[in-house]
A and B are shown apart, each in its own frame.
Chain A
Amino acid sequence: MNIIEKILRNHSVEDIPEVSPGDIVTVNVDRAIITDMAALHPEFINEPPVKPFDNNKIAVIFDHFVPPPNIEISNRINRLRKLVDLWNIRDFYDAGRGGISHVIAAEKGFLKPGSLIANTDSHTIAVGAFNTVGRGLGTPEIMNIIATGKTWFVTGDTIRVDLNGNMNSNASYRDVFFNIAGTTGDIPNNNIEFHGDGIKHITMDGRSSISTMCAEISAEFSVFPYDGVLKNYMDNINIYDYKAIEPDNNTHYYKTYDIDLNKIEPMIALPDRIINNIKPVSEINKTEISVAVVGSCANGRLSDLRDVSSVLKNHRVSRNVRFIVTPASQEIYNEALRLGYIDTIIKSDALVTNPTCGACLGGHMGVVGDGDTVISSTTRNFKGRMGSSRANIYLASAKTVAASAVKGYISGDLSE
């Protein structure tokens, strides 16, 4: 069995020796996460589960609309807030105390290697960086999990992606993902497991960026192995009670791909989709932009803010561009302040917002208008995703976004 099959087997409600592709497994969930989006689902706030299967295994994290952008959303989120008292939820992260659920889950130690996580948000696949399985689930389903502590998965075929070598300094982990997407194409119902000698160089931020973005190729689960880098992360947050999972020696994978990290260069996704729509930045004709965004669960992390600040140092954002930078969590925001990144960023005429999903979902804090051309390190470039359906959204690494914000047109590097 591979890592994913073993984690599913270990969580199976029935005692089963093995899990193979095609099997439907009913599993016990280690941790369920609800975000403020639940407030926007009438079924949830009108008919919430009577009581949770275990209130200490549920976290409530407000992220999409922090702080609420209008009265309607504010009222609904207030209704959701009542649940926290009703159920006596210990792990509650309100505005000013948390950040994007996938990032908070990692910071607070909810993502223990070998565990199984349920979260309504579609980028829950992010947890795979932590040798953990999870995928996005709908709100009705999370209601079922809250009530019963259980859910089911159909086991898919698993693709092995070997990341080999070491990355050049001009490329980012987001570019590694673009490369993976270009190699595998969309893989609905299949899993990805990462292996290869290059992984040991990849930071937890990098792994999180890659696994988060695997939602965009419709992967079911995407999982990294357990190694020294992950162990260090867990040690640093004082989490030791877990059992990491390795694949069996003779594991057979459905397909195998090799990615040579040395060859990765800055890439960009052209508007409307990622699949079959990616190019090296160097091949893009001069494209003027009006909005630049760095943020999201994928690339609003400390290393992304560091990249932005090192690009912006001694430069100014082009006067034709509004550059919005959104740290993914309070902790990241704090660290970026301490390290001077925020100072550099705001002195370069970029706008720093509070931690939230914000512009990524076109909810607030940077909703784009008709005719805007956007370059963003967020997760999706669907038509209308960030506001107007008449805006064009390009996706790239934080580094490329920052360089483009300075130049006023899409550019992978200030020297170009």
Chain B
Amino acid sequence: MNNIEGKIWLFGDDINTDLMYPQVCYTLKEEEKPFYAMSANRPGWSKMVNHGDIIVAGRNFGTGSSRPAADNIKNLGISCVIAESINGLFLRNSVNSGFLALTVPGIVDAVDEGDLLYIDLKNNTVINKSNNKKINFKPLPQFLMDIIENGGIINILRNKGLLGWPL
């Protein structure tokens, strides 16, 4: 997977799935869904996101339901989530959607909103290009990176011929 560079949006602790993918999204058209992300806690935010931006957040990112929250912020153009800790279900959903979510303890104190962050996936370091702070992190197991690099589990199933026709 290529290294990632993007501008930071900073969020707090316990950002939940219902904020990322509110109930109304379920029956919206695919292209409309991402704009509802964080509309309850940060109205107007989704319109300011540029392709490739990065979310940095505090503890327990993605707590909540199995809804496709990771998909929704991926479709908004977010390239990666980096948090102090990540809910297990959110991490699974990210991996299965081909979206990178990394646990990097200490990240919140090393960044301000708007900083430019560089994620070096070969050396497992994040570098804040705005203040030159550098943090090493424990990479995701290769097993999970392989699913991400294959574009997520649906892609893998489709390529194996395991998916069928519309109901």
What is the interface of chain A, defined by CB distance below 8 A to chain B? 24, 40-43, 45-51, 70, 72-73, 79-80, 82-83, 86, 120-122, 135-141, 143-144, 147-148, 152, 154, 156, 186, 188-189, 216, 218, 220, 273, 275, 361-363, 380, 382-385, 387, 389
Whether A147 pairs with B60 at a CB distance below 8 angstroms is no
Whether A50 pairs with B163 at a CB distance below 8 angstroms is yes
Most chain B CB within a 10 A radius of its CB, from A82, A188, A363: A188
Would you give the shortest CB distance from A52 to chain B, in whole angstroms?
11
Most chain A CB within a 10 A radius of its CB, from B23, B60, B66, B87: B66
Query: Cβ of B16: which chain A residues have Cβ within 8 Å of it?
Result: 273, 382
Q: Known pairs A80-B167, A143-B154, A186-B63; list 11 more (Cβ under 8 Å).
A: A24-B143, A47-B158, A47-B166, A48-B164, A51-B164, A137-B89, A138-B93, A143-B163, A188-B63, A189-B88, A383-B19
- Knowing A42-B30, A380-B18, A384-B22 are in contact, say whether A138-B89 is a contact too (CB < 8 A): yes
Would you give the shortest CB distance from B105 to chain A, in whole angstroms?
12
Whether B167 pairs with A50 at a CB distance below 8 angstroms is no
Whether A72 pairs with B27 at a CB distance below 8 angstroms is yes
Whether A73 pairs with B27 at a CB distance below 8 angstroms is yes
Whether A275 pairs with B19 at a CB distance below 8 angstroms is no
Would you give the shortest CB distance from A90 to chain B, in whole angstroms?
19
Whether A122 pairs with B89 at a CB distance below 8 angstroms is yes
Whether A122 pairs with B157 at a CB distance below 8 angstroms is no
* B141: contacting residue among A40, A42, A72, A154, CB under 8 A: A154
Whether A383 pairs with B141 at a CB distance below 8 angstroms is no
Whether A141 pairs with B153 at a CB distance below 8 angstroms is yes
Q: How far is the CA of A79 from the CA of B164 in the complex (A)?
A: 14
8 residue pairs A–B, Cβ–Cβ below 8 Å: A47-B164, A49-B157, A138-B89, A140-B93, A186-B85, A188-B88, A382-B19, A383-B18
- Knowing A135-B89, A143-B154, A144-B153 are in contact, say whether A218-B60 is a contact too (CB < 8 A): yes
Query: Cβ of A48: which chain B residues have Cβ within 8 Å of it?
Result: 163-164, 167
- Knowing A139-B68, A384-B23 are in contact, say whether A79-B162 is a contact too (CB < 8 A): no
Whether A186 pairs with B59 at a CB distance below 8 angstroms is yes
Query: Cβ of B1: which chain A residues have Cβ within 8 Å of it?
Result: none
Query: Cβ of B60: which chain A residues have Cβ within 8 Å of it?
Result: 186, 188, 218, 275
- Knowing A138-B68, A275-B60 are in contact, say whether A384-B167 is a contact too (CB < 8 A): no
Whether A273 pairs with B14 at a CB distance below 8 angstroms is yes
Smallest CB-CB A-B distances: 8 pairs = A389-B40, A138-B93, A50-B164, A79-B167, A147-B162, A122-B65, A186-B60, A382-B18
Q: How far is the CA of A225 from the CA of B22 in the complex (A)?
A: 36
* A140: contacting residue among B27, B39, B154, B165, CB under 8 A: B154
B26 at the interface (CB under 8 A from A): yes
Whether A136 pairs with B89 at a CB distance below 8 angstroms is yes
Q: How far is the CA of A189 from the CA of B59 in the complex (A)?
A: 12
Query: Cβ of A152: which chain B residues have Cβ within 8 Å of it?
Result: 143
B52 at the interface (CB under 8 A from A): no
- Residues facing A in B46-96 (CB within 8 A) are 59-60, 63-66, 68, 85-89, 92-93, 96
